[in-house]
Amino acid sequence: MGLEFNNETCSGCKACELVCSLQNLKVVNPSKALLNVYGKFPVPGKYFVDICDQCGDCAKACPRDAIRLKGQTYRIDRKKCDNCLECVDACPVHVIKVDDDGTPYKCINCKQCAEVCPRDALTFS
């Protein structure tokens, strides 16, 4: 089961970014969301979302083995992580973020983004 994006239905409302920051960080700060909504201009109405597809590149890059597959989701073990940020550099879609304390964090497939999307642009398969 993975997060999927359909740019044909996305309106660029960014509700997914808002709920992501609320659900995962307990803050109203869409810039900290674990996905990125952006427009492709000059074509009006074309929006895209960078999402974590759980490819595992972050886990391969981690020298501490702090990122492990749990079910179908790669999770960061904060106890093992030494904040080297190699996972951030390794992410091909740039959706691993760094918390205020310097610790990286990533999508945990909480599904809130898909649940709040009013146009079904984000879904889980």
CATH of residue 81's domain is 3.30.70.20
Which residues, listed in sequence order, are joined to residue 106 by a DSSP beta bridge? none
pLDDT score of 1 more than 60: no
Token digits of residue 91: 């992410």
Per-chain mean pLDDT for the chain: 94
**In sequence order, what are the residues at sequence separation of 6 or more whose Cβ sits closer than 8 angstroms to the Cβ of residue 26?**
none
* 124 domain-assigned: no
In Å, how far from its chain's centre is CA 60?
18
| 96-112 pLDDT, tens digit each | 999 999 999 999 999 99
Residue 112 falls inside a structural domain: yes
Q: What is the rounded distance in angstroms from the CA atom of residue 46 to the CA atom of residue 39?
A: 6
Answer whether residue 72 is part of any domain.
yes
DSSP one-letter code for 21: H
What are 36-59's pLDDT values in tens digits? 999 987 767 789 999 999 999 999
Residue 57 lies in a domain: yes
Whether residue 125 is contained in a domain is answered as no
* Continuous H helices in 26-82: 57-61
Q: If DSSP codes are grouped into helix, strand and coil, which group holds residue 11? A: coil
Indicate the number of domains in the chain.
1
Residue 24 three-state SS = helix
Nearest to 91 by CA among 50, 38, 37, 119: 50
Q: Would residue 74 count as lying in a domain?
A: yes
Q: What is the residue range of 31's domain?
A: 3-119
Residue 17 banded pLDDT, cuts 50, 70, 90:
very high
